[in-house]
Amino acid sequence: MAGCGGDLSALDPAGPFAESIARLWWAMLLGAIPLFALVVGLFLLTVLRPGFGRRLSAKGWIVAGGLALPLPVLTALLGYALFQGEYRLGRPGSEALRVEARARMGQWSFAYPDTPGAPVTVGVLHLPAGRLVEITVTSEDVIHSFWVPRLGGKIDAIPGHETRLRLLAEAPGTFGGVCAEYCGVSHTDMRFTVRAHEAGRYAAELAKAETGAE
């Protein structure tokens, strides 16, 4: 259970988009538990009580176990996952603060086009708490993946292409970020920190932010 906490835990969400992912995870777990119990239970019954399986014909087992059991469960989970995905994706909107994330092997750098005078920060992403932020992600070399588990989902950083991800931190705080796509020997070092500041102090905090890696 140690993986359920810490600043890289997707099960300890700090914003609505991460919360929607955590909800989906719990829904899938709750869907999997009764199915697992049922399958193991039926298996044990056929082992412990010989002849139990003959109550149903071979075709009956195939229809019940291969269609009737998984189809409704998987359809419901797929529908839920797709609706949650649509919610997280949203629509590019003017209400979101734009931030540009640029990946290269071993390093993330962040630019803030909507905040005049803000420096490019390396290894630290500054956000205003309580405000929707749209991150435009790209890469200078190979494919990376931008992921702040406590704030939202993953999005690939692809050379020559821009992808978008929405994040929202509900309260000020510090969160961990990683590259979630193996990108070479420097992959494990490609961590970054997200600092969510009080909205009123965001511009001032960003203005005095260091540009180098911390």
Partner 1 sequence: MSGRPASRPVFLPILAAFTIWAVGFLALYGLQATGCRLGWQDAELLPGVTHLRLALCLLLAGLAAAVVAVVLRLRRLPAGFARTVGLAVSLAAAASTLFSFSGVFWLSLC
Binding positions for partner 1, rule: CB under 8 A: 75, 82, 85-86, 89, 91, 161
Q: To the nearest whole angstrom, how small is the minimum distance from the Cβ of residue 99 to partner 1?
A: 20
Between 51 and 93, name the residue whose CB sits nearer to partner 1: 93
Between 54 and 91, name the residue whose CB sits nearer to partner 1: 91
Between 98 and 164, name the residue whose CB sits nearer to partner 1: 164
Q: To the nearest whole angstrom, how small is the minimum distance from the Cβ of residue 21 to partner 1?
A: 17
Q: Which residues contact 19 (CB under 8 A, 6 or more apart)?
A: 13
**Spatial contact of 177 and 184, defined as CB atoms under 8 Å apart:** no
Q: To the nearest whole angstrom, how small is the minimum distance from the Cβ of residue 89 to partner 1?
A: 5
H-type alpha helices, the chain: 16-48, 58-63, 70-89, 202-207
**Helix, strand, coil proportions of the chain in percent (round to 5)?**
40, 25, 35
Q: In terms of DSSP bridges, do strands 144-147 and 107-111 run parallel, antiparallel, or are they unpaired?
A: unpaired
Length of the chain: 214
| Residue with tokens 């205003």, as numbered in its chain | 128
Q: In terms of DSSP bridges, do strands 192-197 and 163-167 run parallel, antiparallel, or are they unpaired?
A: unpaired
Between 41 and 85, name the residue whose CB sits nearer to partner 1: 85
Q: To the nearest whole angstrom, how small is the minimum distance from the Cβ of residue 77 to partner 1?
A: 13
Between 24 and 124, name the residue whose CB sits nearer to partner 1: 24
Q: To the nearest whole angstrom, how small is the minimum distance from the Cβ of residue 164 to partner 1?
A: 9
Q: To the nearest whole angstrom, how small is the minimum distance from the Cβ of residue 72 to partner 1?
A: 13
SS3 of residue 92 by DSSP:
coil
Between 44 and 63, name the residue whose CB sits nearer to partner 1: 63
Q: In terms of DSSP bridges, do strands 163-167 and 133-139 run parallel, antiparallel, or are they unpaired?
A: antiparallel
Report the alpha-carbon distance of residue 92 to residue 102 in Å, rounded: 19
Report the alpha-carbon distance of residue 105 to residue 182 in Å, rounded: 10
